[in-house]
Structure 1
Amino acid sequence: MANRLGNATSPYLLQHKDNPVDWWEWSAEAFAAARERDVPVLISVGYAACHWCHVMAHESFEDDDIARAMNDGFVSIKVDREERPDVDAVYMTATQAMTGQGGWPMTVFATPDGDPFFCGTYFPKAHFGRLLESVREAWRDKRDEVVAQGAKVVEAIGGAQLVGGPTAPISAELLAAAVGNLLKDRDKTYGGFGGAPKFPPHMGMLFLLRHHQRTENAEALEVVRETAERMGRGGIYDQLAGGFARYSVDARWTVPHFEKMLYDNALLLRAYTQLWRLTGDPFAKRIADETTAFLLRDLGTRDGGLASALDADAAGVEGLTYAWTPAQLAEVLGDEDGAWAADLFGVTERGTFEHGSSVLVLARDIDAAEPSLVARWHRVREKLLGARASRPQPARDDKVVASWNGLAITALAEHGVLTGNEQSRAAAIGLAEVLATRHLVDGRLRRVSRDGVAGEPVGVLEDYGCVAEAFLAVHQLTADGRWLESAKALLDVALAHFGTGDGGFYDTADDAERLVTRPADPTDNATPSGFSSICAALVGYTALSGETSYREAADAALEKVAPLIGGHPRFAGYSAAVAEAALSGPYEIALVSEKDDHGELAAAAYRHAPAGAVIVAGEPDRPGVPLLADRPLLGGLPTAYVCRGFVCERPVTDAGELVAQLGSKDA
């Protein structure tokens, strides 16, 4: 036997290729080997940027004695949860059902048929060694009980999936109740929701911004503004290079868990961009601009995609790249600037992190300071960033995940069109080309690619939803009918192969690999669920195409998730945001001119468009662009058409009149 991960495409699996463990990749052959040897399966699930995954690897999987016990008593399978979210979803549900909590690394003991019978997360070396022996003894001496336990777990997790269940219509009352329930968890002191550990509530922020725009609810906007400021000034945000970490270990947003994930930064880019659109707050725009720069600079891959994540660790030490002491600041900046920077960034002798070091926060309001101080701030940042580059740097997981790149495309398209940032616009289009040419194989999506080559894992529902929504964003950006057609093709696959038959969706296709259960989870967690992302694309596609059958599918799905939206909005943020767009209309805004010069009309439309509106600008009757069909110019001038449910206001050529139409609740 031997470790079989040397030819894996996943950076996470490759991190384990030199372990003395006889690892298998997830495969039918691995389970067949377990049946042939008559041993249980040990499934270890994690991802490349996971700190505690690294800890367990160093403590246990690199240890010869632990590896010997694993090799003698088990068939051990290593799974990258980002490549196989379907496998992760099934066994995470089992882990949560058995332990009341979940996380990574996830450690699952299963029968050779894949039925889980004992689950957990991180185990220290001594505990893990004893656990291996206990499970091996149970398999030998109490086989019937173990198999029966596995069958019960499979039955339980199958019943935990939301396929049937109660439904409710999407209504203003439902969304008001969702806002009320969300605000009950508001942290009025430090922003965000709940206590430590505190995750960036990006999808909830998008929901609240859309709700505010539809209803003028002032508290909804204030919660987003306060949360955005607290996060953007906190240690969860990289004050030197931009970009957000995965979460804060404390309630104050001071000390992050240092990995930076593509999906968090894409969703937060949308939230900060939309906050700036609604308020004009220069702080929000700065964070959006810097997050864009981080995405394109630090996550851009040589083959044109965006990498998945930066690791939490550098040289095996968490936060080594990012933390500072006052002496280190003075060494780089000199005593005077060093003391000034220590005050500005909250760096103290006692420290806020480990070993007397501090994570940089923005302890003073520098954005509105006099120009000389702002210039000093920028100069200090550049010097510190240059010095930081000489430190050990976090590893990068450079696989390209379809759904997460889809989230980034939508965010970059919005940022580009709203701020006029041409780099964002170009990046959105370029990334869409990567997904269309590399990840679409014979009409079906592949989940990941690396070094320009698509991997074997097939796309799950979130890939179809996020990529379809991204293609719709690029269609609006370019007025190119190709992207609308491509989005339709993805939605047709989703409806045909992922539908439950009663308005809902499974996470995996009907012709995908069969697991012990077929996951169907509508909850939004770190990323939008496949359920909510496909609803978003269905709503947007209908508004852009006029094909109402897709809206009917979206409405049926939203009715299924409505009880979750109303009762547990923290776990349905993206669904709630989609519901806001659906309830608003969404508005359909067409801007026509002879030379694609829409001037003040375009600026007014993008700045004042109601929640979730679709906007396309181009010459009249451009082929493949239904929203521009039969839209003549008035007097040869650029002309705007504002519609809702395909019923249109009179066309206008004046920006002020357009703003008035967009502000009308009866448009």
Structure 2
Amino acid sequence: MATSSTGTKSLSELKNVLAASKSPYLLQHKDNPVAWQEFTPATIALAKQLDKPIFLSSGYSACHWCHVLAHESFEDSDVAEMMNKWFVNVKVDREERPDVDRVYMTYLQATSGGGGWPMSIFMTPDLEPFFAGTYFPKMRFKSLLARIAELWEDDREQCTEMGRGAIEQLKEMSGIPGTLDQIIATSPASGIYTQLLRQHDPRYGGFSQGGPRSSGPKFPSCSMTLEPLARLASYASSSFEGGAAIDREKAREVAVKMLRGIWKGGIHDWVGGGVARYSVDEKWIVPHFEKMLYDQAQLVTGALDFALISNPAEAEDESHRKVLEEDRALCFDLAADILEYTLRVLKHPRAGFWSAEDADSAPEEGAKKSEGAYYIWDKSELDDILGDEADLVNHFFGVKQSGNVDPKHDAHGEMTGKNILYQAHTYGDVGSRFNKSEVDVKIIVSRACDRIRERRDTREPPGMDDKILTAWNGLMISALAQGAMALPDSYAVKAMLLPDAEEAVELIKTKLWDPETRQLARSYREGKGPIGQTDDYAFLIRGLLDLYEATGKEDHALWAIELQERQDELFWDEQGGGYFASAPDEHVLIRMKDAQDAAEPSATSVSVHNLSRLSLLASNQYDAYEKRAEEIYLSVGEELKQFPRAFGYTACGLMDIERGYREVIVIGPPSDPTTQGFLSLARSIYAPYQIVIHIDPSNPPRKLAEKNDVLRSLIEGSDANQQKTTEASLRVCEGGVCGLPVTSIEEAKKILEIDAEK
């Protein structure tokens, strides 16, 4: 047998190579007795040379069940011996290589009806999958390894045929194009509204595939829930073609009900801030404790949207006004809480944001790690921390001597006798029980959280996935920019948002962007990671556009335009329309498209919004941007019609088109109070269909004006009048026509339709 490029002649000579990796997830497995390899051309060549099947295990560093599988099987010498004897074993960090993960996750979902991580795939040396699953208990996994190895030896042809058939089926999966009008005529807005109401849980808020009485789990899934609900709650129902009538207030209530459930639940970290990835139960009490950067970013933007939509000035009566005031305060509090947590815990000391906090940690030094150990409490320990206030605080948080975690939601018995902190009773009810005012109860609970946090800080913290992902940082840049525009000044965190957003952009530009090749890297940790994928470009472009609106700095807009050009060059599908998820790679058998929304919005859905916004900002290329956006809609049209909720954020783009896009152009020096008043006014309303452009006469965006004739003419007009005293002004441009400028706040309110029914 010829020696491979690695110099290895047999499986027995393979060693675990993950110690050389930069991925936090792969490094977690560097000491496994399994001879793990990375997904590289050399590894694939080796599998072909040895003619051995590949076992591919994909996951991520904060994944609890990935840890369980590792502890039970990958750290077990007997299991490792079987794996090393029969397979070339490959570890993949799904966050760094979503292109690889996406192909095999699609196969897993198609063959099993579900998916998730850890993902376990058996495939031929030609990378064609023939068996897939997720987590397997140890004894079942050992039996499976033996059966697969036997099948490979006795009936290799069957494995190969199954693998080839699977790949061919995946290649055939595609949408059926139509016209944009035909897609809109199917009324995806009404379809999403109907589906969300059917899956809405009126008891505890949120949505479940199992229906309103399902016992969980529940995910925030903002792109599939909060984003479309915000449009449905804000736009007049008459603007949607076809379909059933939409109750705007009902849509708002359903969304806020979910946000309230998250805020009150154990999924929200009352002590340290931030939100866990999902709740395993229907009440939002028992979280899957990992905290992901992308969840924090999306929940910030979702909460801010509904803070703006829940406008007391639009109340129908005094009772409704009070409801809107409470809902608005809740949404602002949730957004601020998550932002404070992100800046304190997930922010790199210099710039940018880490990816995730782990679900698992050790309950005490030297002990075995378990899920949620950092966050759960014995009642006696809380009593010791809280002293005289223990009874009140424990009542508020539902703390019990025997623990408050339902055993059916504690798969491994790791939380027996422990308590998760969640709001079990209202401030008013607690006040009545303990003869305190609501204000006093809030002060006591807040003070208690500070004291509990001091004690918690002495525990071993969860592990940190400290790689910086371009795509997820793009989402957080959006959240920071939107927070800076929408949060009231009373929140102290607001002052930090724009500086941290700009630092993150600078980090990506200096560490993850190659100006010579004009390509992004996907991640950074001790150097650049793999090359960037479509979502890296799309999410960063979105962040830059939001940051441009928040700061008025044209450099952000110009880089967004350049990145869009590069995304088009690298990923656009000239035959079928839409964007491939990744660049060509001979070892990724199918260039798939990231079209359906899930825990993150899809690159497809974010891209259609980016293109529509760029068509206004760089309007000289309006037709090109709009044509590209339309081709994306057509590429997913049939799927959007059949599964509207799975394409929720894409459907939001169609709702924006029906509503009609507009530019809000403010001219005036930043120091002028009226200029700031205009900008604040434009940013105070929920209006994803608009883009705000600020022209500072002393430093106008001349490079951007080269791409926008309206801007150029306004700047030239401002230049001609620079010797004269000019007033700050605001004008609105819609459908290629700009209205007359107004110079007072009251006039601006009228043309922005702030006093009119939305």
Decide which of 656, 681, 694 is 1:617's aligned counterpart: 694
Structure 1 CA distance, aligned partners of 2:497 and 2:752? 26
Decide which of 435, 448, 454 is 2:528's aligned counterpart: 454
Instruction: Please list every run of 5 or more consecutive structure 2 residues that lacks an aligned counterpart in the other structure.
Output: 1-13, 209-213, 238-247, 312-327, 363-368, 406-414, 432-436
C-alpha offsets along residues 142-176 of structure 1, whole Å, 9 cap, x if unaligned? 1111111111111122223x355555535484423
Residue 50 (structure 2) aligns with = 37
Decide which of 666, 674, 684 is 1:607's aligned counterpart: 684
Helix, strand or coil at the partner of 2:19: coil
Structure 1 CA distance, aligned partners of 2:696 and 2:625? 26
Residue 611 (structure 2) aligns with = 538
Residue 73 (structure 1) aligns with = 86
Question: Does the aligned pair in 1 maintain the 2:176–2:636 contact within 8 Å?
Answer: no
Structure 1 CA distance, aligned partners of 2:282 and 2:655? 29
Helix, strand or coil at the partner of 1:132: helix
Offset of 1:370 from its aligned partner? 4.2
Structure 2 CA distance, aligned partners of 1:622 and 1:10? 40
Question: Does the aligned pair in 2 maintain the 1:329–1:341 contact within 8 Å?
Answer: no
Q: Which amino acid aligns with 1:320?
A: A
C-alpha offsets along residues 422-477 of structure 1, whole Å, 9 cap, x if unaligned? 211111111111122221122111111114x211x121111111011111112222
Structure 2 CA distance, aligned partners of 1:536 and 1:513? 31
Question: Does the aligned pair in 1 maintain the 2:177–2:634 contact within 8 Å?
Answer: no
Residue 376 (structure 2) aligns with = 323
Structure 2 CA distance, aligned partners of 1:595 and 1:132? 67
Structure 1 CA distance, aligned partners of 2:51 and 2:421? 54
Offset of 1:503 from its aligned partner? 5.9
Residue 255 (structure 1) aligns with = 286
Question: Does the aligned pair in 1 maintain the 2:176–2:638 contact within 8 Å?
Answer: no
C-alpha offsets along residues 548-594 of structure 1, whole Å, 9 cap, x if unaligned? 11122112212333444454333122212333333333221111113
Helix, strand or coil at the partner of 2:713: coil
Question: Does the aligned pair in 2 maintain the 1:469–1:540 contact within 8 Å?
Answer: no
Question: Does the aligned pair in 2 maintain the 1:326–1:339 contact within 8 Å?
Answer: no
Decide which of 230, 233, 242 is 2:261's aligned counterpart: 230
Decide which of 564, 572, 577 is 2:647's aligned counterpart: 572
Structure 1 CA distance, aligned partners of 2:661 and 2:35? 54
Is the counterpart of residue 192 in structure 1 residue 201 in structure 2? no
Is the counterpart of residue 358 in structure 1 residue 419 in structure 2? yes
Helix, strand or coil at the partner of 1:624: helix
Residue 336 (structure 2) aligns with = 289
Offset of 1:522 from its aligned partner? 0.9
Which structure 1 residue ranges, 4+ long, deviate > 6 Å from structure 2?
A: 664-667
Residue 55 (structure 1) aligns with = 68
Structure 1 CA distance, aligned partners of 2:166 and 2:686? 48
Offset of 1:401 from its aligned partner? 0.8
Residue 478 (structure 2) aligns with = 410
Is the counterpart of residue 209 in structure 1 residue 223 in structure 2? no
Instruction: Please list every run of 5 or more consecutive structure 1 residues that lacks an aligned counterpart in the other structure.
Output: none
Structure 2 CA distance, aligned partners of 1:643 and 1:73? 66
Decide which of 128, 139, 151 is 1:126's aligned counterpart: 139
Tell me how many residue pairs correspond in the alignment.
Answer: 663
Decide which of 192, 195, 202 is 1:178's aligned counterpart: 192
Q: Which amino acid aligns with 2:440?
A: S
1:449-488 to structure 2, matched below 5 A, reads: 449-451=524-526, 453-455=527-529, 457-488=530-561
Structure 1 CA distance, aligned partners of 2:151 and 2:257? 53
1:204-603 to structure 2, matched below 5 A, reads: 204-215=225-236, 217-279=248-310, 281-315=328-362, 316-334=369-387, 336-353=388-405, 354-366=415-427, 370-419=438-487, 420=489, 421-441=494-514, 442-451=517-526, 453-455=527-529, 457-502=530-575, 504-546=577-619, 547-548=621-622, 549-597=624-672, 598-603=675-680
Q: Which amino acid aligns with 1:185?
A: Q
Question: Does the aligned pair in 1 maintain the 2:55–2:121 contact within 8 Å?
Answer: yes
Structure 2 CA distance, aligned partners of 1:647 and 1:223? 37
Residue 411 (structure 2) aligns with = none
Question: Does the aligned pair in 1 maintain the 2:558–2:704 contact within 8 Å?
Answer: no
Cα distance change, pair 506–114 in 1 and its aligned pair in 2 (3 A): farther
Offset of 1:97 from its aligned partner? 1.9
C-alpha offsets along residues 511-567 of structure 1, whole Å, 9 cap, x if unaligned? 445412221241001101111111121112112121211122112212333444454
Structure 2 CA distance, aligned partners of 1:107 and 1:226? 36
Offset of 1:359 from its aligned partner? 1.3
Q: Which amino acid aligns with 1:454?
A: K
Structure 2 CA distance, aligned partners of 1:428 and 1:302? 14
Q: Which amino acid aligns with 1:92?
A: M
Is the counterpart of residue 91 in structure 1 residue 104 in structure 2? yes
Question: Does the aligned pair in 1 maintain the 2:512–2:528 contact within 8 Å?
Answer: yes
Cα distance change, pair 658–503 in 1 and its aligned pair in 2 (3 A): farther
Structure 2 CA distance, aligned partners of 1:337 and 1:564? 55
Cα distance change, pair 94–545 in 1 and its aligned pair in 2 (3 A): same
Helix, strand or coil at the partner of 1:341: helix
Q: Which amino acid aligns with 2:231?
A: R
C-alpha offsets along residues 116-148 of structure 1, whole Å, 9 cap, x if unaligned? 111111111111111111111111111111111
Residue 636 (structure 1) aligns with = 726
Q: Which amino acid aligns with 1:655?
A: I
Farther-moved stretch of structure 1 (503-512 vs 301-310):
503-512
Residue 22 (structure 1) aligns with = 35
Structure 2 CA distance, aligned partners of 1:511 and 1:282? 48
Helix, strand or coil at the partner of 1:176: helix
Farther-moved stretch of structure 1 (520-529 vs 648-657):
648-657
Helix, strand or coil at the partner of 1:149: helix
Question: Does the aligned pair in 1 maintain the 2:293–2:356 contact within 8 Å?
Answer: yes
Question: Does the aligned pair in 2 maintain the 1:56–1:122 contact within 8 Å?
Answer: yes
Farther-moved stretch of structure 1 (404-413 vs 543-552):
543-552
Helix, strand or coil at the partner of 1:135: helix
C-alpha offsets along residues 37-60 of structure 1, whole Å, 9 cap, x if unaligned? 121111011110011111111111
TM-score calculated relative to the size of structure 1: 0.95
Offset of 1:375 from its aligned partner? 2.1
Structure 2 CA distance, aligned partners of 1:232 and 1:118? 40
Q: Which amino acid aligns with 1:594?
A: P
Structure 2 CA distance, aligned partners of 1:201 and 1:92? 18
Question: Does the aligned pair in 2 maintain the 1:325–1:349 contact within 8 Å?
Answer: yes
Farther-moved stretch of structure 1 (317-326 vs 409-418):
317-326
1:158-173 to structure 2, matched below 5 A, reads: 158-160=171-173, 162=174, 164-165=176-177, 168-169=180-181, 171=184, 173=187
- RMSD (Å), alpha carbons: 2.2
Cα distance change, pair 565–240 in 1 and its aligned pair in 2 (3 A): farther
TM-score calculated relative to the size of structure 2: 0.84
- Identity across matched positions, percent: 34
C-alpha offsets along residues 155-200 of structure 1, whole Å, 9 cap, x if unaligned? 122223x355555535484423332232222111111112411101
Farther-moved stretch of structure 1 (554-563 vs 389-398):
554-563
Offset of 1:648 from its aligned partner? 1.8
